[in-house]
Structure 1
Amino acid sequence: MLNFKKLIADNKGFAAFMLGMLLVRSAFADYYLVPSSSMYPTLLEGDRVICDRIAYDLKIPFTDLIVKHLADPQRGDIVTFSSPEDGTRLVKRLIAVPGDVVEMREERLFINGQAANYETVSQLSGSHLTPQREYAGEQQVYQEKLGSLNHPIIVMPERPAMRSFGPVTVPEGQFLMLGDNRDNSKDSRYIGLVKRELITGKIKHLMFSLDGDRYYMPRFERFGSAV
């Protein structure tokens, strides 16, 4: 016990620094490794993203208890949240806000009765497509446009997926999330809607990116880039 007390006393500066870092990461800003291809072509496996934890709400550190609303999540935001299924930290795109009526018909998104427009994206690096080790079939890339939504998505015609659902009315205080890699994402179609208190922040920029399929070589062009 004496040795433990001495260890704390001798390292109290370092302990205070580490506690401060934990508080900052819990309450203000954090960073996460993108572990899967569910957000291709926007976020790649090996991206380290910076999460603004006070983009929407001020919370008590280490909890989901909201002290003050700072801003409302918007359609098109890329957010981190705790899965309502099992608490796993996920990164997805926020597609629908409270009051929206959402439907998907064979990949085409409808919000409040308005259909999204889809334009084929032909100039896309192969590194932004789902890795061949996961899926070797055809991949189609489109720019999905509907109001404030304007982002690329990938669809995989040969892969089993939930391509139709709804219509669903999003209740107050909840949000609908989808992955940009539309047929390779475990999102609100499978885990349900996400309550506001489960949203842990907004992704605006990358910190850095390493390519695990190429011996973790840096993707320098992605360092500090906006998403």
Structure 2
Amino acid sequence: MMKLKKLFSQNKGFIVFMLGMALVRGALADYYLVPSSSMYPTLLEGDRVICDRIAYDIKLPLTDVILKHVSDPQRGDVVTFSSPEDGTRLVKRLIAVPGDVVEMRDEHLLINGQAANYEAAQVATSDHLTPQREYNGLQQVYKEQLGSLNHHIIVMPERVSMRNFGPVRVPDGEYLMLGDNRDNSKDSRYIGFVKRELITGQVKRLMFSLNGDDYYLPRIERFGAKL
């Protein structure tokens, strides 16, 4: 016990600093390394994103207990959340809010009976396409537009994927998430709806990005970039 007291006394400043950092990461802001290609072309493997943990709710630190609502998640938001399947932390796009009726037909979304519009698009560089080590077939890029949804997606017609579902109604207090890389994402089509308390924050900006397929060289243009 005396040794512990002495250790604390000698390192009090450092211990307080580390506790403060843990509190900030647990309650206010966090960062997250994008581990997969499920959100291409928006987020790339090697992106380190900033997660605003109080964008929607103030929670008891290190728990899912909501103390106060700040704002409601919106269609089109990029969010991090704990998977309802196994607790794994994921990052996806929020597609539908409570009460929405959603369906997908041949990869095309319909929300509340209104069909999304799709326009063929291009990515900035081939670095924004699914890496060839994962998939070497045809990749098609579209701009998906429906109300507040306005972003690019990738579809891979040669890959087996769930391209049809619904119509389903999003339950109260829950949300439907999809990856922008539609045929390479384990999202609400497979793991179900996501309860609000499982949402851990909103992603609006990158910290930095390193390209693991190119000797971890920095993607300078992505440093501090907004989504």
Q: TM-score, normalised by structure 2?
A: 0.98
Alpha-carbon separation, structure 2, partners of 1:19 and 1:164: 47
Paired amino acid for 1:198: L
Spell out the pairing of 1:213-224 with structure 2 (5 A cutoff): 213-224=213-224
Q: CA deviation at 1:7?
A: 1.7
Q: Is the 8 A contact 2:32 2:49 kept in 1?
A: yes
Find the counterpart in structure 2 of residue 91 from structure 1.
91
2:183 aligns to what SS in structure 1? Answer: coil
Give distance in 1, aligned partners of 2:154 and 2:23: 37
Q: Give 1:226's aligned residue.
A: 226
Letter in 1 for 2:132: Q
Q: Which amino acid aligns with 2:58?
A: L
Partners in 1 of 2:138 and 2:190 — Cα distance?
23
Output one character per residue of 1:1-25: Cα deviation in whole Å (capped at 9) or x when no partner: 4333322221111010000000000
Q: CA deviation at 1:108?
A: 0.3
Letter in 2 for 1:153: I
Deviations 1:83-108 (A, max 9, x none): 00000000000000000000000100
Distance 1:194 1:25 in 2: 22
Q: Which residues of 2 match residues 1-227 of structure 1 at below 5 A?
A: 1-227=1-227
Aligned to 2:93, the other structure's residue is in SS state strand
Deviation of 1:122 (Å):
2.9
Output one character per residue of 1:145-165: Cα deviation in whole Å (capped at 9) or x when no partner: 011000000000010000000
SS in 1 for 2:182: coil
Letter in 2 for 1:75: R
Q: How many residues align?
A: 227
Query: Contact 2:41–2:123 (CA<8 Å) still a contact in 1?
Result: no
Instruction: Give the AA of the match of 2:197.
Output: E
Query: How much has 1:141 moved relative to structure 2?
Result: 0.2
Separation (CA, whole Å) in 1 of partners of 2:223 and 2:54: 23
Tell me the CA shift for residue 123 of structure 1.
Answer: 4.8
**What letter corresponds to residue 26 of structure 2 in structure 1?**
S
Distance across 1 between alignment mates of 2:199 and 2:94: 10
